[in-house]
Amino acid sequence: AGPVVERATLAPLSADSARAWLRELLRELLGRPHAYFLPCEAAFVHHARDPRGPLVAVLEEARGLLGDDDGPRALRSAYGPVPRPQDYPLPDEATARAMVARRLAPLLRALPEGT
């Protein structure tokens, strides 16, 4: 019905763990084109609802929140450097799960599951 803001405290990473995660994240993000729709908000919602459930269904729901070009956006990702991110295709379930695991694992481990 309106914007939802949730706060979460993340456990600290050691300097070595943080460097390793950031190194792999940069390698992934700079290593190839990324023409797909996979906002981080959807990954966080998926983790909070049911991480064993279908991720692509949550991605489809997130795409629906973006709507058209009129009116406010329901996702922060809509304000990034990619114009009309909702127009990009969704990755398949296995690909989406693998990308979320590689990119967000340290953050997701610190959050409660399925709440």
The owner of tokens 């599951």 is 113
pTM: 0.82
Window from 25-29, 32-36, 79-83 with minimum mean pLDDT? 79-83
Angle at which helix 93-109 crosses helix 55-66, to 10 degrees, equals 90
40-64, pLDDT tens digit by residue?
989 999 999 999 999 999 999 999 8
Query: Given pLDDT bands bounded at 50, 70 and 90, which one contains residue 66?
Result: confident
pLDDT at 7 over 90: no
8 Å CB contact between 38 and 104: no
Query: Given pLDDT bands bounded at 50, 70 and 90, which one contains residue 73?
Result: low
Average pLDDT, stretch 29-48?
91
pLDDT at 14 over 60: yes
- Rounded Cα–Cα distance for residues 78 and 55 (Å): 19
